Structure 1
Amino acid sequence: MTQTFLLAQALLPEGFAQNVRVTVRDGVFAAVEPDSLADGGERIAGLALPGVPNLHCHAFQRGMAGLAERRGPASDSFWTWREVMYRFLARLTPDDAEAIAAFAYMQMLERGFTAVAEFHYLHHDIDGAPYADLGEMAVRIAAAAAATGIGLTLLPSLYGYGGLGGQPAVAGQRRFLNDPDRFARLVARSREAVRAVPGGRVGIAPHSLRAVTPDTLRAALQIAPDGPVHIHAAEQVKEVDDCVAWSGRRPVAWLIDEMPVDARWVLIHTTHMTPDETVRLARSGAVAGLCPLTEASLGDGIFDGARYLESGGGFGVGTDSNIDIDPAGELRQLEYSQRLALRARNVMATAEGESTGRRLLAEALRGGAQALAQPMGAIAVGNRADLVVLDTTHPDLAGASGDRAIDRLIDLWLFVAGREAVATVMAGGAVVVQDGRHHARETITARYVATLARILAD
């Protein structure tokens, strides 16, 4: 299928352009022609930017947003939040997981994410027994992606243990568990599942050094010798301390020393690294997968963004627990966390006079595309036809137009207007959001509301 659109304004790899005719064939940009005649094709007003990749998501957690905002008898942390998650999962069915994922993916599209890396560790039935179809939950994730139109990189997660050094799993983790042999079958089934999603990809996600051993991690890499490898690393201080007690090294150092960490790898969070680890990760070619809103929500800490960028590191952003789905919000929180830590401004800009928003967006596009192993991140021939179009008539974007104002428009989107500025979104060549609303919002929302009403009923 071939379609033609005329973009009033667009950010192309070479810079700002007007009257850009794009030809889309089978969900991919087949031609990009700036300064075209204003006829032929559907006209899209506003400023068209590349769609943003979401490099880290646990879709089911959208349904538990807000459930852990009550203080416990002692100081709360990631570890007490995790107990709330286990209780939430005690009722979740495949139908529920699909409904929640569809709602999360719909919100991602409405706010500017056009593809998602689903770090998928909810595999089995409530009692921990595999479903008759081992990939039942993977099929549901793929169905939610197909129904909403979001691009998908599915990352089945290997989770075998409850702590570093192969400690036994606890009851709340029973829905996650696989050994390498069963994990190999799950990866194969996931590849079948993503056929329902145009351009779908599959990678792997060894959950963390808490959940695998060195031997099972190596086995996972042999199961999937190609494609992205995502792993949680150095998110919490306790995790780092436990890793040092187990191995004598911190998590990021252990991974770089013991595993072939390169451009295939995405280390999620990496909140607690030494300066040496930060530089080594930056030079490895791997991507740091940052989820600043979730990291703030869980009290994880602050990523060393300035040092990492100075060392040439690549990063992207994800929504993780999906408490507030918004690419502008994630990038804004990333910059503001650096400002708080260093008591400085415009920390993530790398040169005098550079737009901080433009730099943040450029890094998130580049690192996110690498992390998802998707051809995206630029409005260019051969890439996914993904666009997020800003409403340049929005009051918060007033007074910014033309080539010299492109940086200002991006700054205003990320730091002022946020999701309210998103007017139109195209994913895989399909216009799925118009006037800020997903075309299936009512149906998806009604199913989500009914699902939560049942799960959260007393």
Structure 2
Amino acid sequence: MSARSDGRHRSLFFEHCLLPEGWARNVRVTLEQGRIAAVDAGAEPSPGDERHPCALPGMPNLHSHAFQRGMAGLAEQRGPANDSFWTWREIMYRFVQRMTPDDVRAIAAMAYVEMLEGGFTRVGEFHYLHHDREGGAFADVAQMSAAVLAAAGDTGIGMTLLPVLYSYAGFGAQPPAPTQARFVNDLDRYARLFEGAQAHARALPDAVVGVAPHSLRAVSPDQLRDLEPLAKARPVHIHIAEQVKEVDDCLAWSGRRPVEWLLNNAEVDARWCLVHATHMTESETVAAARSGAVAGLCPITEANLGDGLFPVEAFLQAGGRYGIGSDSNVLIDAAEELRLLEYGQRLTRRARNVMARESGRSTGADLYAGALTGGAAALGVEGGIAVGLPADIVSLNLDHPAMVHRAGDAITDSFVFASGRSAIDCVWRHGDKLVSEGRHHVRDRVVRDYAKVLETLIA
């Protein structure tokens, strides 16, 4: 890996820099051993400073299935009936059937390169592909987890690994289908997998390992309860209320809607991330917000799958927190996730600047701050350009046509709504400069490996 930090003090100087308190001018950020040792606003540049026009804190990506990057664009042909998440899922099951750990590593590395180039500096990898092609455990039950952790090491992205417990095919502990055999664990094997994932994660500088019951349809109430001692103070992520069918099936099983059932039967608090939570009543929305859980919103994937729109306005009014994720990785772009989040609300309400907190506020700035804070919390870290935090920084090219003559919140607005990833110049992750002039330093090698794998999987 090129451009690795050597532990010495180094300084980056930015003419414009987004700090926790807002935009500041002429900011020197001093790095030491991958972390921010000092932040000095209103400074003068020194001869040894590496100078750039503009910096944002790197964005957390709170929900990813990296292996699905390899099937991006392959599920866009209309079927004989109404296409939905459920028909897309059958295509996904067929695609992953042949993957080896080496295949997963190559595909994940491609996704992580694109995430870094697109402004994401840490990923929450919601990882449920665990076993061999017949569903048997590898000699190292965490071998697939080791593959995605290795991909994170190859590319330098920050990793919050979320090994998934997946045991059943539907509500009421329905037996899993043969196509789900590579995902399935009981609690004992999951505990061994979790322990193995933790051991592999120690190879990365600041990896976090959390707990992920896949969904209420894929784990039993007893399993959800028995996971609590394993979770402790770790992040807990769960898919919930993504689809109308899921809501209907949960009602038929329990007499309660998914979010309602979860809040009544689990100790949901600020450790939790409720991924999607698309279909909630008003009372569920308020209760979810008040629980402290982060809503994990994935607008590109939710649009691609036809999921629906999250009730973000009511959620925010109730004090809710949110973050963004690339989920199926059909398209990877942090600014596009934020843009589509706002545009979905504009189309629904036939209004503009819906997610700005109050009159006179910048929509882009509020979107970015909300997703940064909520996403970092969901991944078990803190986000921002501040002393003591990892040096996860994105610089923008202010000569980009959408960025010229911008300052302050106009930079954030123009990045989110007018340029996106095309304005990203450099990306530092844990103090290492991984992206220059918009390209990851190992992109060429990663693309070659990825292409070889796809040739085998798609042939």
Q: Normalised by the size of structure 1, how large is the TM-score?
A: 0.97
**Structure 2 CA distance for aligned equivalents of residues 129 and 333 of structure 1:** 40
2:233 paired residue number: 226
2:91 paired residue number: 84
**Structure 2 CA distance for aligned equivalents of residues 275 and 42 of structure 1:** 52
Residue 74 of structure 2: which of 43, 46, 67 is its match? 67
Shift of 1:40: 4.3
1:138 paired residue number: 145
2:369 paired residue number: 362
2:16 paired residue number: 9
- 2:440 is aligned with what amino acid? H
1:121-270 equivalence runs, <5 A: 121-270=128-277
Instruction: Select between 214-223 and 410-419 the one with higher mean Cα deviation.
Output: 214-223
CA deviation string 1:368-391 (max 9, x = no partner): 01000113x210011111011111
Contact 1:228 1:372 in 2 (8 A): yes
- 1:217 is aligned with what amino acid? L
- 1:410 is aligned with what amino acid? T
**Structure 2 CA distance for aligned equivalents of residues 52 and 178 of structure 1:** 32
**Structure 2 CA distance for aligned equivalents of residues 120 and 232 of structure 1:** 12
Fraction of identical pairs, as percent: 56
**Structure 2 CA distance for aligned equivalents of residues 361 and 108 of structure 1:** 16
**Structure 2 CA distance for aligned equivalents of residues 130 and 28 of structure 1:** 38
Contact 1:6 1:41 in 2 (8 A): no
CA deviation string 1:93-118 (max 9, x = no partner): 11110000000000000010000000
Shift of 1:226: 2.1
Count of aligned positions: 452
CA deviation string 1:350-398 (max 9, x = no partner): 21111111110000000001000113x2100111110111111111112
Residue 392 of structure 2: which of 373, 377, 386 is its match? 386
Contact 2:16 2:53 in 1 (8 A): yes
2:4 paired residue number: none
- 2:136 is aligned with what amino acid? A
Instruction: Select between 51-60 and 379-388 the one with higher mean Cα deviation.
Output: 379-388
Matched, 1:305 2:312: yes
Instruction: Select between 49-58 and 10-19 the one with higher mean Cα deviation.
Output: 10-19
Matched, 1:436 2:438: yes
**Structure 2 CA distance for aligned equivalents of residues 204 and 412 of structure 1:** 36
- 1:443 is aligned with what amino acid? R
1:56 paired residue number: 63
**Inter-CA distance 41–277: structure 2 relative to 1 (3 Å threshold):** farther
**Structure 2 CA distance for aligned equivalents of residues 315 and 305 of structure 1:** 9
CA deviation string 1:147-170 (max 9, x = no partner): 101000000000000001100100
Partner-residue secondary structure (3-state), 1:393: coil
Partner-residue secondary structure (3-state), 1:282: helix
**Structure 2 CA distance for aligned equivalents of residues 138 and 91 of structure 1:** 17
- 2:158 is aligned with what amino acid? G
Partner-residue secondary structure (3-state), 1:145: helix
**Structure 2 CA distance for aligned equivalents of residues 365 and 149 of structure 1:** 19
Structure 2 residues without counterparts, runs of 5 or longer: 1-6
Matched, 1:99 2:114: no
2:423 paired residue number: 421
Partner-residue secondary structure (3-state), 2:79: coil
Contact 2:166 2:185 in 1 (8 A): yes
Partner-residue secondary structure (3-state), 2:227: helix
2:3 paired residue number: none
2:126 paired residue number: 119
CA deviation string 1:301-348 (max 9, x = no partner): 011111111111000000000011001000111001111111111111
Contact 2:12 2:52 in 1 (8 A): no
**Structure 2 CA distance for aligned equivalents of residues 455 and 46 of structure 1:** 43
Contact 2:16 2:408 in 1 (8 A): no
Residue 397 of structure 1: which of 400, 403, 409 is its match? 403
Q: Normalised by the size of structure 2, how large is the TM-score?
A: 0.97
**Structure 2 CA distance for aligned equivalents of residues 444 and 344 of structure 1:** 42
Instruction: Select between 34-43 and 407-416 the one with higher mean Cα deviation.
Output: 34-43
**Structure 2 CA distance for aligned equivalents of residues 41 and 380 of structure 1:** 21
- 1:96 is aligned with what amino acid? D
- 1:140 is aligned with what amino acid? A
Contact 1:8 1:43 in 2 (8 A): no
**Structure 1 CA distance for aligned equivalents of residues 51 and 64 of structure 2:** 30
**Structure 1 CA distance for aligned equivalents of residues 321 and 379 of structure 2:** 13
- 1:417 is aligned with what amino acid? S
Partner-residue secondary structure (3-state), 1:54: strand
Matched, 1:447 2:449: yes
Partner-residue secondary structure (3-state), 1:425: strand
1:374 paired residue number: 381
CA deviation string 1:275-324 (max 9, x = no partner): 11001111111100000000000000011111111111000000000011
1:324-335 equivalence runs, <5 A: 324-335=331-342
**Structure 1 CA distance for aligned equivalents of residues 235 and 118 of structure 2:** 25
1:21 paired residue number: 28
**Structure 1 CA distance for aligned equivalents of residues 87 and 201 of structure 2:** 34
Shift of 1:23: 1.7
Shift of 1:18: 2.5
Shift of 1:49: 0.6
- 1:312 is aligned with what amino acid? G
Shift of 1:399: 2.4
**Structure 1 CA distance for aligned equivalents of residues 51 and 224 of structure 2:** 47
Shift of 1:439: 0.5
